[in-house]
Structure 1
């Protein structure tokens, strides 16, 4: 039974930052990081745009960034959270730079600040169009230099361990996290990872939909595990669809992202006839917030019957474009798109969930000793709609605050908690056919894409709820009699997340930000 002082689930910017800070502060404490794929595979890796931080105090200010965030969140942001996240941004940026992260600079040596939809000023620091990849590279290098950190790749967290696994009574009706049950994908054994403090930073939920910008790992595992452990999950109805994912007719699942910064750079949206249309929906046109742009594209596609619209870059300085967006340019070239002559076919795709596990200002969930950070959490920063490039910033700020609180409470935690039992698979067997799992997964994704997409209705949501209920019942029967596999656990987690999105969509009676119901 592996025993650690700290357990981190996930290897994106949130988990890495937290692990690095804890490991450096407590070189005598042990820390385990489990990640279900390779250590470099996370939503962070695919974050193109950058990180919002106020550096130019002449044409920008903290108050402007705060106001832009509040406007994007459409009245549902926690203003206290917005203020401290924005104000702490420069300190968190300095740490990244000190750890070796490289951000692009202009000719005079100042940081090249980008501008994205919803921002009133240039304030996005970036590394070309692979900012997340660069941040993760630097953080991983730092983590690997910490001898007290053990990274377990291809280890799948199945469930958080709380009192419901132990023969003990609850105190104050609130649960405590004692670690997690983790499946070693090589040995196929589920091991008990005990820890005094657990950080849940396992990313988003994109693959609950058919088309998403997220990597294959984004199946809502952390949110589902926390929900089963009786953490409070909120605002799941606010799923942000990125307006401009590359449309490829033969590609399903993860869609290549065309960064919002491309529109900030001057690219224009056009319909299949080549006509602009954003002026009909918002005075900011292409630089409107993501919810508005996504709904506009969705409406244009429904009106015309087309499967995509175009993003026009033909009028831009392509030499400067290549310097800023080399990854996007190379991707377009690889599928035969010449940006000097051709427009890019784009379609909205599931991108980011603004809700998640509710946490306080220190990253603590309702479950004792369970911290939650990054996209898995709901901090109050985003409200009903995330402002572009605030997510990397949020992860860094909350990883720091969670670290500080972890230091404060560590010695108050019992060193000898009850021993959790070993995971039992008595009476289960290996599935004869994986088709049952893959079929149900595809069915969940189809239900969500068809009925719970950018624009929803009560009728469609009720239909989705009814159809999902049968899949829930089938999967629970399968779960009880089948040996655990990553595929089965992911399916169960996707179903939990889908149900949360549907039920919380039905409960919301007002259109806000990324949530839009016709009735």
Structure 2
């Protein structure tokens, strides 16, 4: 059986290793280089249950609470139940999590967690260490890897997926497969300000939509509260606040307690909105005050953040540093069941490209790497069991998962290199439109304007020819679906927040 894995973050690499170890013929296709994507940028860690006094049930309760009532309890149960095995597997594959002198795992706490249950590596380089270990494992296993392979579309017949169409070195190439696992990540590049790398353009989600797979919850976009407000977006891990850093306004007031009794450790959506509002009120960024931790502790626990902040002219051991929110994580995506199966037989999804139901309306900190490992393994197991004989049965079963579908345009967008005069489509114009109108704080008028503008750009679209133009087409498709979903959800819940007057966040 041949399995095509598209994407090489934690979900894709885990899926590929599991499928290979089950005796399948596996090929990894990745847009950039092996191990690229959001995973190596993850500063936080992997949430789980590591000590007495904590439990999977407590982890599940925190996950459900952060999800604002919209998480799937069964998916959350899978996450916390399978978590221990997947974490042990990461360690066995060579991930060097940080440990105390006695050899026990060092545990941190982040917002909305009721206990210290997050392991990290290299202080604030957990994702990079996981990517290193898993890519090494893939290479040692001899799994075929095709780099520089851009996913253009899924190959379908009889309402089932049987391969992928790729853009490789400027040429379109079709690769048949018995099963396709999409693990292409999210779509952070929808927004003018994001923590995501440039390649996060929603490629897998868009391809699944064009093929007719169900997607949902695209309106739930998590904005990380603390990005260094100087230079290119650089994330200041939530773990810094978990260690005791505070958020203060220009008067030194810890304003987050005005919004939530947990203050800086409230759910991310609450903290991000509090920061946006206070920054708009005072006309300048709020500040993260980590001085109480001391220079030595900051350098040891957060070596990457310590280095970058100093390179940008800040001594955060002596001064509070300016921070602002930015788009960070997409809770919605391709609808899957608990095994990673989508509504199209032959197509599976895992990681940020998938909507497993774990996150609901708001992701609990450090659950994303865990989700990628847990559901990447499950998708591989389901894909391994899949066969042409049982696809008809799969088709009947997956119909019940159909939550929403989107009619997509037959033409795609071609971007210009510059932002233009604001009237026509460009990637920069789309990103600013989404940031202003479908961002952290949303209004009826702003959403309506976004939907109308995106539809006009779709009407004017032309066929893409280069990878950048295919990416722009994907961004436009996912943007239109995201804005429409935000219009349809009229109540405020979790990361989707609507108010009467939009506070400018720029």
TM-score by length of 2: 0.91
Match of 1:424 in 2: none
Match of 2:256 in 1: 278
Match of 1:256 in 2: 234
Determine the C-alpha separation between the residues in 1 that align with 2:213 and 2:320. Answer: 46
1:345 pairs, out of 319, 322, 347, with 322
1:446 aligns with 2:441: no
1:500 pairs, out of 481, 487, 502, with 481
Kindly provide the CA deviation profile for residues 47-101 of structure 1, in whole angstroms up to 9, marking residues without a partner as x.
111000011122x222211110010001101111111211111110110011111
Kindly provide the CA deviation profile for residues 287-342 of structure 1, in whole angstroms up to 9, marking residues without a partner as x.
00100000100111222222x21101111133122111100000011111112222
Point out where structure 1 has 5 or more consecutive residues left out of the alignment.
Answer: 164-169, 415-427
1:111 aligns with 2:105: yes
1:456 aligns with 2:459: no
1:42 aligns with 2:28: no
Please give the secondary structure, in 2, of the residue aligned with 1:145: helix
Query: Is contact 1:196-1:413 (8 Å) kept?
Result: no
Match of 1:418 in 2: none
1:331 aligns with 2:308: yes
The CA deviation at 1:12 is: 0.2
Kindly provide the CA deviation profile for residues 29-63 of structure 1, in whole angstroms up to 9, marking residues without a partner as x.
432211111223211011111000011122x2222
1:180 pairs, out of 164, 173, 185, with 164
Query: Is contact 2:415-2:427 (8 Å) kept?
Result: no
Match of 1:298 in 2: 276
The 10-residue stretch of structure 1 (115-124 or 396-405) with the greater mean CA deviation from structure 2? 396-405
Alignment size in residue pairs = 475
Determine the C-alpha separation between the residues in 1 that align with 2:57 and 2:460. Answer: 51
The CA deviation at 1:107 is: 2.4
Kindly provide the CA deviation profile for residues 232-259 of structure 1, in whole angstroms up to 9, marking residues without a partner as x.
11001100000001112x53xxx11100
- Write the mapping of 1:74-113 to structure 2, written as runs, cut at 5 A: 74-113=68-107
Match of 1:356 in 2: 333
Match of 1:11 in 2: 8
1:513 aligns with 2:494: yes
The CA deviation at 1:223 is: 0.7
Please give the secondary structure, in 1, of the residue aligned with 2:177: strand
Match of 2:26 in 1: 31
1:217 aligns with 2:199: yes
Instruction: Flag the 1:452–1:433 CA change in 2: closer, same or farther, 3 A.
Output: closer
TM-score by length of 1: 0.89
Instruction: Flag the 1:466–1:411 CA change in 2: closer, same or farther, 3 A.
Output: closer
Determine the C-alpha separation between the residues in 2 that align with 1:402 and 1:41. Answer: 20
Please give the secondary structure, in 2, of the residue aligned with 1:333: helix
1:154 pairs, out of 148, 155, 164, with 148
Please give the secondary structure, in 2, of the residue aligned with 1:159: strand
Determine the C-alpha separation between the residues in 1 that align with 2:442 and 2:59. Answer: 30
The CA deviation at 1:411 is: 6.8
The 10-residue stretch of structure 1 (347-356 or 294-303) with the greater mean CA deviation from structure 2? 294-303
Determine the C-alpha separation between the residues in 2 that align with 1:405 and 1:40. Answer: 23
Determine the C-alpha separation between the residues in 2 that align with 1:74 and 1:434. Answer: 40
Kindly provide the CA deviation profile for residues 356-400 of structure 1, in whole angstroms up to 9, marking residues without a partner as x.
011001000001110000000001100000000001111111111
Determine the C-alpha separation between the residues in 1 that align with 2:317 and 2:297. Answer: 13
Query: Is contact 1:464-1:502 (8 Å) kept?
Result: yes
Please give the secondary structure, in 2, of the residue aligned with 1:199: strand
1:474 aligns with 2:452: no
Determine the C-alpha separation between the residues in 2 that align with 1:440 and 1:411. Answer: 42
Determine the C-alpha separation between the residues in 2 that align with 1:236 and 1:197. Answer: 25
Kindly provide the CA deviation profile for residues 413-467 of structure 1, in whole angstroms up to 9, marking residues without a partner as x.
79xxxxxxxxxxxxx9xx9975589961111101101111111011110011111
The CA deviation at 1:470 is: 1.6
The 10-residue stretch of structure 1 (331-340 or 270-279) with the greater mean CA deviation from structure 2? 270-279
